[in-house]
Amino acid sequence: MVSPEGFLFLYSAHPMTTEFDISLLHQAARLAVKGHGTVEPNPMVGCIITNKDGEIVGEGFHEKFGEAHAEVNALTMAGESACGGTAYVTLEPCNHQGKTPPCSKALLDAGIKRVVIGASDPHEDASGGGDFLREQGIEVEIIQDVVCNEIIAPFVYRIKTRLPWVTCKWAQTIDGNIETPESESNWISCKESQQLVHEERGCVDAIVVGVGTVVADNPSLTVRGAPKYRTPVRVVIDPSLRTPLHSNVLNEDAPTLLAHAQGVDSSAFSSHNLIALPSAGGVLELAPLFQHLASEYDATNVLVEGGATLFEHIFSQNLANELWIFTAAHRSILLPRVNMNTLVDSLTTTLIEEQPSGVDNAMRLFVTPFIP
Protein backbone atom coordinates (compact mmCIF):
# COMPACT_ATOMS: atom_id res chain seq x y z
CA MET A 1 0.00 0.00 0.00
CA VAL A 2 1.30 3.45 -0.94
CA SER A 3 2.24 5.47 2.15
CA PRO A 4 0.91 9.03 2.56
CA GLU A 5 4.44 10.43 2.57
CA GLY A 6 5.49 8.71 -0.63
CA PHE A 7 3.10 10.03 -3.24
CA LEU A 8 4.50 11.11 -6.58
CA PHE A 9 2.23 14.06 -7.26
CA LEU A 10 1.22 13.65 -10.89
CA TYR A 11 -2.23 14.48 -12.15
CA SER A 12 -4.37 15.13 -15.19
CA ALA A 13 -6.30 18.24 -14.25
CA HIS A 14 -9.81 19.30 -15.22
CA PRO A 15 -9.73 22.62 -17.16
CA MET A 16 -11.33 24.46 -14.22
CA THR A 17 -9.11 22.88 -11.56
CA THR A 18 -6.47 25.00 -9.82
CA GLU A 19 -3.24 24.10 -8.06
CA PHE A 20 -5.04 24.87 -4.81
CA ASP A 21 -7.69 22.29 -5.71
CA ILE A 22 -5.05 19.67 -6.42
CA SER A 23 -3.25 20.35 -3.15
CA LEU A 24 -6.46 19.81 -1.18
CA LEU A 25 -7.30 16.70 -3.17
CA HIS A 26 -3.90 15.27 -2.30
CA GLN A 27 -4.43 16.24 1.32
CA ALA A 28 -7.62 14.19 1.16
CA ALA A 29 -5.58 11.35 -0.33
CA ARG A 30 -3.29 11.39 2.70
CA LEU A 31 -6.37 11.02 4.88
CA ALA A 32 -7.74 8.19 2.73
CA VAL A 33 -4.82 5.82 3.27
CA LYS A 34 -5.39 5.94 7.02
CA GLY A 35 -8.25 3.52 6.34
CA HIS A 36 -5.94 0.82 4.99
CA GLY A 37 -6.66 -2.42 6.80
CA THR A 38 -10.00 -1.36 8.28
CA VAL A 39 -12.17 -0.44 5.29
CA GLU A 40 -11.51 -3.29 2.85
CA PRO A 41 -13.20 -4.68 0.80
CA ASN A 42 -14.46 -1.09 0.46
CA PRO A 43 -12.14 1.46 -1.14
CA MET A 44 -10.10 3.93 0.88
CA VAL A 45 -11.56 7.43 0.54
CA GLY A 46 -10.66 10.84 1.96
CA CYS A 47 -12.54 14.14 1.92
CA ILE A 48 -11.76 17.80 2.66
CA ILE A 49 -14.49 20.46 3.02
CA THR A 50 -13.82 24.17 2.55
CA ASN A 51 -16.28 26.98 3.29
CA LYS A 52 -17.33 29.59 0.73
CA ASP A 53 -14.13 31.54 1.47
CA GLY A 54 -11.90 28.54 0.71
CA GLU A 55 -10.97 27.82 4.33
CA ILE A 56 -10.78 24.20 5.46
CA VAL A 57 -13.63 23.53 7.86
CA GLY A 58 -13.91 19.74 7.75
CA GLU A 59 -11.94 16.63 6.94
CA GLY A 60 -12.54 12.93 7.19
CA PHE A 61 -11.86 9.51 5.77
CA HIS A 62 -13.66 6.20 5.54
CA GLU A 63 -12.50 4.68 8.82
CA LYS A 64 -14.16 1.27 8.99
CA PHE A 65 -16.12 -1.04 6.70
CA GLY A 66 -19.86 -0.60 7.25
CA GLU A 67 -19.49 2.74 9.00
CA ALA A 68 -19.73 6.37 7.84
CA HIS A 69 -18.00 7.30 4.60
CA ALA A 70 -15.38 10.03 4.22
CA GLU A 71 -17.83 12.69 3.04
CA VAL A 72 -20.14 12.21 6.02
CA ASN A 73 -17.26 12.38 8.49
CA ALA A 74 -15.95 15.58 6.87
CA LEU A 75 -19.41 17.15 6.78
CA THR A 76 -19.95 16.29 10.44
CA MET A 77 -16.79 18.21 11.34
CA ALA A 78 -17.72 21.13 9.09
CA GLY A 79 -21.29 21.52 10.33
CA GLU A 80 -23.11 24.57 8.95
CA SER A 81 -19.81 25.97 7.61
CA ALA A 82 -20.07 23.52 4.70
CA CYS A 83 -23.00 25.43 3.18
CA GLY A 84 -21.86 27.19 0.02
CA GLY A 85 -18.48 25.48 0.15
CA THR A 86 -16.49 22.91 -1.83
CA ALA A 87 -15.96 19.21 -1.19
CA TYR A 88 -12.68 17.60 -2.28
CA VAL A 89 -13.14 13.83 -2.35
CA THR A 90 -10.72 11.23 -3.67
CA LEU A 91 -13.45 8.95 -5.08
CA GLU A 92 -16.78 9.81 -6.68
CA PRO A 93 -19.42 10.01 -3.93
CA CYS A 94 -21.57 6.88 -3.76
CA ASN A 95 -25.08 7.22 -5.12
CA HIS A 96 -26.84 4.24 -3.58
CA GLN A 97 -28.19 3.01 -0.28
CA GLY A 98 -25.80 0.34 0.97
CA LYS A 99 -24.68 -0.14 4.56
CA THR A 100 -24.84 3.68 4.76
CA PRO A 101 -26.96 6.30 2.93
CA PRO A 102 -25.72 7.83 -0.35
CA CYS A 103 -22.96 10.40 0.12
CA SER A 104 -24.14 12.36 -2.92
CA LYS A 105 -27.37 13.15 -1.08
CA ALA A 106 -25.43 14.12 2.07
CA LEU A 107 -23.37 16.66 0.10
CA LEU A 108 -26.51 18.08 -1.49
CA ASP A 109 -28.31 18.39 1.85
CA ALA A 110 -25.30 20.16 3.38
CA GLY A 111 -25.49 22.91 0.77
CA ILE A 112 -22.20 22.10 -0.97
CA LYS A 113 -21.94 24.12 -4.21
CA ARG A 114 -18.89 22.52 -5.83
CA VAL A 115 -17.37 19.03 -5.72
CA VAL A 116 -13.87 18.15 -6.93
CA ILE A 117 -13.50 14.39 -7.44
CA GLY A 118 -10.19 12.57 -7.82
CA ALA A 119 -11.43 9.34 -9.46
CA SER A 120 -14.65 7.93 -10.90
CA ASP A 121 -16.33 5.10 -9.01
CA PRO A 122 -16.03 1.86 -11.03
CA HIS A 123 -18.68 0.02 -9.01
CA GLU A 124 -21.91 -0.28 -10.99
CA ASP A 125 -24.13 -0.09 -7.91
CA ALA A 126 -22.40 2.88 -6.26
CA SER A 127 -21.44 5.03 -9.25
CA GLY A 128 -23.39 7.99 -10.61
CA GLY A 129 -22.87 10.39 -7.72
CA GLY A 130 -21.24 12.97 -9.97
CA ASP A 131 -24.13 12.91 -12.45
CA PHE A 132 -26.67 13.17 -9.63
CA LEU A 133 -24.97 16.24 -8.18
CA ARG A 134 -24.76 17.94 -11.59
CA GLU A 135 -28.46 17.33 -12.10
CA GLN A 136 -29.06 19.18 -8.82
CA GLY A 137 -27.12 22.22 -10.10
CA ILE A 138 -23.87 21.55 -8.26
CA GLU A 139 -20.58 22.18 -10.07
CA VAL A 140 -18.74 18.87 -10.39
CA GLU A 141 -15.19 18.28 -11.64
CA ILE A 142 -13.85 14.73 -12.04
CA ILE A 143 -10.09 14.98 -12.49
CA GLN A 144 -8.95 11.34 -12.80
CA ASP A 145 -5.97 12.17 -10.60
CA VAL A 146 -3.10 9.68 -10.66
CA VAL A 147 -2.67 9.59 -6.88
CA CYS A 148 -6.38 9.05 -6.25
CA ASN A 149 -6.47 6.22 -8.78
CA GLU A 150 -3.42 4.62 -7.14
CA ILE A 151 -5.26 4.54 -3.82
CA ILE A 152 -8.25 2.64 -5.23
CA ALA A 153 -6.24 0.34 -7.52
CA PRO A 154 -6.78 -2.80 -5.36
CA PHE A 155 -10.53 -2.07 -5.16
CA VAL A 156 -10.81 -1.53 -8.91
CA TYR A 157 -8.70 -4.56 -9.75
CA ARG A 158 -10.85 -6.86 -7.63
CA ILE A 159 -14.07 -5.54 -9.16
CA LYS A 160 -12.83 -6.00 -12.72
CA THR A 161 -10.95 -9.29 -12.36
CA ARG A 162 -12.36 -10.96 -9.22
CA LEU A 163 -8.75 -11.30 -8.10
CA PRO A 164 -7.06 -9.71 -5.08
CA TRP A 165 -4.28 -7.15 -5.44
CA VAL A 166 -0.98 -9.04 -5.21
CA THR A 167 2.05 -7.24 -3.75
CA CYS A 168 5.39 -9.05 -3.94
CA LYS A 169 7.64 -8.00 -1.08
CA TRP A 170 11.28 -8.88 -0.54
CA ALA A 171 14.56 -7.66 0.95
CA GLN A 172 17.70 -7.84 -1.15
CA THR A 173 21.32 -6.82 -1.21
CA ILE A 174 22.31 -4.04 -3.57
CA ASP A 175 23.43 -6.63 -6.14
CA GLY A 176 20.02 -8.35 -6.15
CA ASN A 177 20.46 -11.34 -3.82
CA ILE A 178 17.67 -12.32 -1.42
CA GLU A 179 19.56 -15.25 0.11
CA THR A 180 21.95 -15.08 3.08
CA PRO A 181 24.88 -17.35 3.97
CA GLU A 182 24.12 -19.96 6.62
CA SER A 183 26.67 -18.31 8.92
CA GLU A 184 24.81 -14.98 8.86
CA SER A 185 21.48 -13.68 10.14
CA ASN A 186 18.42 -14.50 8.05
CA TRP A 187 17.67 -10.77 7.91
CA ILE A 188 18.93 -8.66 5.03
CA SER A 189 16.75 -5.67 5.88
CA CYS A 190 17.12 -3.44 8.92
CA LYS A 191 14.76 -3.33 11.92
CA GLU A 192 12.90 -0.29 10.55
CA SER A 193 12.11 -2.17 7.34
CA GLN A 194 11.02 -5.26 9.28
CA GLN A 195 8.68 -3.05 11.31
CA LEU A 196 7.09 -1.68 8.14
CA VAL A 197 6.44 -5.21 6.93
CA HIS A 198 4.70 -6.16 10.17
CA GLU A 199 2.57 -3.04 9.95
CA GLU A 200 1.55 -4.02 6.43
CA ARG A 201 0.87 -7.62 7.49
CA GLY A 202 -1.64 -6.24 9.96
CA CYS A 203 -3.55 -4.63 7.08
CA VAL A 204 -3.64 -7.40 4.45
CA ASP A 205 -5.86 -10.43 3.98
CA ALA A 206 -3.28 -13.09 3.15
CA ILE A 207 0.47 -13.73 3.32
CA VAL A 208 1.87 -16.14 0.73
CA VAL A 209 5.21 -17.97 0.74
CA GLY A 210 6.73 -20.93 -1.04
CA VAL A 211 7.40 -24.19 0.76
CA GLY A 212 11.14 -23.63 0.34
CA THR A 213 10.88 -20.61 2.63
CA VAL A 214 8.95 -22.66 5.20
CA VAL A 215 11.51 -25.47 5.17
CA ALA A 216 14.53 -23.14 5.30
CA ASP A 217 13.34 -20.47 7.74
CA ASN A 218 10.31 -21.91 9.60
CA PRO A 219 8.58 -18.48 9.64
CA SER A 220 5.47 -17.73 11.69
CA LEU A 221 4.00 -15.29 9.13
CA THR A 222 2.07 -13.47 11.84
CA VAL A 223 1.72 -9.82 12.85
CA ARG A 224 4.13 -8.90 15.63
CA GLY A 225 4.87 -5.56 17.24
CA ALA A 226 2.33 -3.71 15.09
CA PRO A 227 -1.41 -2.98 15.06
CA LYS A 228 -3.39 -6.02 13.92
CA TYR A 229 -6.36 -4.67 11.99
CA ARG A 230 -6.79 -7.96 10.18
CA THR A 231 -5.65 -11.55 10.71
CA PRO A 232 -4.15 -12.58 7.38
CA VAL A 233 -4.48 -16.20 6.31
CA ARG A 234 -1.08 -17.83 5.84
CA VAL A 235 -0.77 -19.51 2.44
CA VAL A 236 1.98 -21.98 1.59
CA ILE A 237 2.61 -22.87 -2.05
CA ASP A 238 3.55 -26.54 -1.62
CA PRO A 239 3.04 -28.62 -4.79
CA SER A 240 4.06 -31.97 -3.23
CA LEU A 241 2.98 -31.24 0.37
CA ARG A 242 6.40 -31.37 2.00
CA THR A 243 5.67 -28.77 4.68
CA PRO A 244 6.95 -30.24 7.99
CA LEU A 245 4.06 -30.95 10.32
CA HIS A 246 5.85 -29.15 13.16
CA SER A 247 6.17 -25.91 11.15
CA ASN A 248 5.18 -22.64 12.77
CA VAL A 249 2.77 -21.91 9.91
CA LEU A 250 0.69 -24.90 11.01
CA ASN A 251 0.16 -23.65 14.56
CA GLU A 252 -3.08 -22.04 15.73
CA ASP A 253 -1.82 -18.45 15.82
CA ALA A 254 -3.56 -17.73 12.50
CA PRO A 255 -5.44 -19.69 9.81
CA THR A 256 -3.34 -21.46 7.18
CA LEU A 257 -4.07 -22.70 3.68
CA LEU A 258 -1.82 -25.21 1.90
CA ALA A 259 -1.91 -25.06 -1.90
CA HIS A 260 -0.80 -28.30 -3.54
CA ALA A 261 -0.93 -30.05 -6.90
CA GLN A 262 -3.98 -32.09 -7.86
CA GLY A 263 -3.50 -35.79 -7.28
CA VAL A 264 -1.03 -35.43 -4.41
CA ASP A 265 -1.67 -37.56 -1.31
CA SER A 266 -2.93 -35.10 1.29
CA SER A 267 -3.95 -37.57 4.01
CA ALA A 268 -1.21 -36.39 6.40
CA PHE A 269 -2.72 -32.89 6.32
CA SER A 270 -6.38 -33.86 6.73
CA SER A 271 -6.78 -31.52 9.73
CA HIS A 272 -5.56 -28.49 7.75
CA ASN A 273 -7.14 -26.31 5.07
CA LEU A 274 -6.08 -27.41 1.60
CA ILE A 275 -6.65 -26.38 -2.00
CA ALA A 276 -5.67 -28.58 -4.95
CA LEU A 277 -4.49 -26.66 -8.00
CA PRO A 278 -3.75 -27.60 -11.62
CA SER A 279 -0.05 -27.86 -12.38
CA ALA A 280 2.38 -28.37 -15.22
CA GLY A 281 5.96 -29.52 -14.78
CA GLY A 282 5.65 -29.23 -11.00
CA VAL A 283 4.57 -25.58 -11.21
CA LEU A 284 1.17 -24.75 -9.79
CA GLU A 285 -1.34 -22.62 -11.67
CA LEU A 286 -1.82 -19.82 -9.16
CA ALA A 287 -4.73 -17.82 -10.58
CA PRO A 288 -7.31 -20.29 -9.13
CA LEU A 289 -5.67 -19.84 -5.72
CA PHE A 290 -6.02 -16.07 -5.82
CA GLN A 291 -9.60 -16.40 -7.07
CA HIS A 292 -10.25 -18.67 -4.09
CA LEU A 293 -8.76 -16.13 -1.69
CA ALA A 294 -11.04 -13.42 -3.09
CA SER A 295 -14.22 -15.50 -3.07
CA GLU A 296 -13.76 -17.59 0.08
CA TYR A 297 -11.60 -15.31 2.26
CA ASP A 298 -12.92 -11.97 0.94
CA ALA A 299 -9.33 -10.99 0.18
CA THR A 300 -8.56 -7.60 -1.34
CA ASN A 301 -4.82 -7.38 -0.56
CA VAL A 302 -2.36 -10.27 -0.67
CA LEU A 303 1.28 -9.98 0.38
CA VAL A 304 3.68 -12.46 -1.25
CA GLU A 305 6.93 -12.81 0.70
CA GLY A 306 8.90 -15.23 -1.47
CA GLY A 307 11.11 -16.92 -2.13
CA ALA A 308 12.68 -16.26 -5.50
CA THR A 309 11.16 -19.30 -7.22
CA LEU A 310 7.67 -18.26 -6.19
CA PHE A 311 8.28 -14.74 -7.46
CA GLU A 312 9.40 -16.18 -10.80
CA HIS A 313 6.19 -18.19 -11.08
CA ILE A 314 3.96 -15.26 -10.14
CA PHE A 315 5.68 -12.98 -12.62
CA SER A 316 5.54 -15.56 -15.43
CA GLN A 317 1.81 -16.02 -14.79
CA ASN A 318 1.23 -12.23 -14.84
CA LEU A 319 -0.27 -12.19 -11.36
CA ALA A 320 1.84 -9.49 -9.67
CA ASN A 321 0.33 -6.02 -9.32
CA GLU A 322 2.89 -4.32 -7.13
CA LEU A 323 6.49 -4.76 -5.98
CA TRP A 324 7.74 -3.65 -2.56
CA ILE A 325 11.52 -3.90 -2.45
CA PHE A 326 13.84 -3.22 0.49
CA THR A 327 17.44 -2.87 -0.67
CA ALA A 328 20.34 -2.99 1.78
CA ALA A 329 23.47 -0.99 1.04
CA HIS A 330 25.84 -3.98 1.13
CA ARG A 331 26.66 -6.58 -1.48
CA SER A 332 26.24 -10.33 -1.02
CA ILE A 333 29.15 -12.75 -0.67
CA LEU A 334 26.99 -15.34 -2.43
CA LEU A 335 26.30 -15.57 -6.14
CA PRO A 336 22.50 -15.19 -6.35
CA ARG A 337 20.62 -18.15 -7.77
CA VAL A 338 18.07 -15.62 -9.00
CA ASN A 339 19.20 -12.03 -9.44
CA MET A 340 16.21 -9.97 -8.37
CA ASN A 341 17.49 -6.84 -10.10
CA THR A 342 17.53 -8.75 -13.40
CA LEU A 343 14.12 -10.22 -12.66
CA VAL A 344 12.61 -6.78 -12.01
CA ASP A 345 14.22 -5.40 -15.14
CA SER A 346 12.35 -8.04 -17.14
CA LEU A 347 9.03 -6.50 -16.03
CA THR A 348 7.35 -3.28 -17.10
CA THR A 349 6.98 -1.21 -13.94
CA THR A 350 6.08 2.29 -12.79
CA LEU A 351 7.78 3.77 -9.72
CA ILE A 352 5.17 4.86 -7.19
CA GLU A 353 7.27 5.54 -4.13
CA GLU A 354 10.91 5.58 -3.08
CA GLN A 355 12.19 6.61 0.32
CA PRO A 356 14.71 5.61 3.01
CA SER A 357 13.75 2.92 5.51
CA GLY A 358 16.36 3.04 8.23
CA VAL A 359 19.60 2.23 6.40
CA ASP A 360 17.69 0.53 3.58
CA ASN A 361 16.12 1.95 0.45
CA ALA A 362 12.42 1.10 0.04
CA MET A 363 10.71 1.18 -3.36
CA ARG A 364 7.17 0.44 -4.46
CA LEU A 365 6.37 -0.13 -8.10
CA PHE A 366 3.22 -0.96 -10.01
CA VAL A 367 3.56 -3.78 -12.50
CA THR A 368 2.12 -3.31 -15.99
CA PRO A 369 -0.32 -4.44 -17.10
CA PHE A 370 -2.85 -3.90 -14.39
CA ILE A 371 -6.36 -2.48 -14.72
CA PRO A 372 -6.43 1.10 -13.34
3-class SS letters over the chain = CCCCCCCCCCCCCCCCCCHHHHHHHHHHHHHHHHHCCCCCCCCCCEEEEECCCCCEEEEEECCCCCCCCHHHHHHHHHHHHHCCCEEEECCCCCCCCCCCCCHHHHHHHCCCCEEEECCCCCCCCCCCHHHHHHHCCCEEEECCCHHHHHHCHHHHHHHHHCCCEEEEEEEECCCCCCCCCCCCCCCCCCHHHHHHHHHHHCCCCEEEEEHHHHHHHCCCCCCCCCCCCCCCEEEEECCCCCCCCCCHHHCCCCCEEEEEECCCCCHHHCCCEEEEECEECCEECCHHHHHHHHHHCCCCEEEECCCHHHHHHHHHCCCCCEEEEEECCCCCCCCCCCCHHHHHHCCEEEEEEEEEECCEEEEEEEEECCCC
- Asked, as a colleague might, if the bond just before 307 is cis with ω within 30 of 0, I would say yes
State yes or no: is 71 an active-site residue.
yes
Considering the candidates 71, 141, 150, 179, report the single residue annotated as catalytic.
Answer: 71
Catalytic residue ranges: 71
